[in-house]
Amino acid sequence: MRVTEIAFDESGTVRLIVEIPETEAYHTSNAPHMPRILFRMFPYLAAQRCYNEEGHSFRREALATEIPHLFEHLLLEIQKKVRRGIASDVSIKGETEWNWTIDPRGRFHVTVGYDNEIVALASVRLAERIINALDSKEIAAIDIDREMRRLRELVKVSRRFIGPLRPNEPDEDIVSV
């Protein structure tokens, strides 16, 4: 999986184009270890809300969903986790879409809210590394605790110099699919 485009807009949404080559799995049903390991690494991830046609919880949805959808929720969780203990009234939401009649097969459009562009960019890259490490079964190479400490420091430093990058809203942490 590769994030090939990253675009920030003024409304506090980062728009990502995520591409998966046809040689890789698109779906967690072909890589069932991915959600299981993520839920152990990020226990609150399984409790995220997810709006889907079947009305499944995210824990249930993650067993049979697209890898970029899993990536979206991981990205939301990373941002939420680094914000814990740091005042923020910003709601972050996400959505994953695709239309292979318009786009090439394997291209997904992921949108996720953010309150700090620098932290969002670092979170995108970390989530991408985690998903790829899970896919290649090399997740032990990533020290998640160290990476999260780095992101928390980045939050503090960036807020000190530039502050939040969008207006405050009530924090809902709702995810739409």
Burial bucket for residue 5 (CB in 10 Å: 0-12, 13-18, 19+): exposed
Q: What is the pLDDT of residues 138-162, one digit of tens each?
A: 999 999 999 999 999 998 888 777 6
Q: What pLDDT score does 86 carry?
A: 56
Q: What pLDDT score does 175 carry?
A: 35
SS3 state at 176? strand
Considering the entire predicted model, what is its pTM? 0.87
Give the torsion through C-alpha atoms of 92, 81, 89, 125, to 10 deg.
-50
Q: What pLDDT score does 170 carry?
A: 36
- Full pLDDT tens readout for the chain, 177 residues: 999 999 999 889 999 999 999 888 899 999 999 999 999 999 999 999 999 888 899 999 999 999 999 999 999 999 999 877 555 556 789 999 999 999 999 999 999 999 889 999 999 999 999 999 999 999 999 999 999 999 999 988 887 776 554 444 433 333 333
Say if residues 75 and 112 touch (Cβ distance below 8 Å): yes
**What one-character-per-residue DSSP string does 92-128 give?**
--EEEE--TTTSPTTEEEEEEE-S-HHHHHHHHHHHH
Angle among Cα 117, 24, 67 to the nearest 5 degrees reads: 45
Q: Cβ–Cβ contacts within 10 Å for residue 73, how many?
A: 28
Q: Supply the angle between the helices 117-135 and 67-83 in degrees, to the nearest 10.
A: 130
Distance CA 81, CA 89 (A): 14
Q: Supply the angle between the helices 67-83 and 144-161 in degrees, to the nearest 10.
A: 60
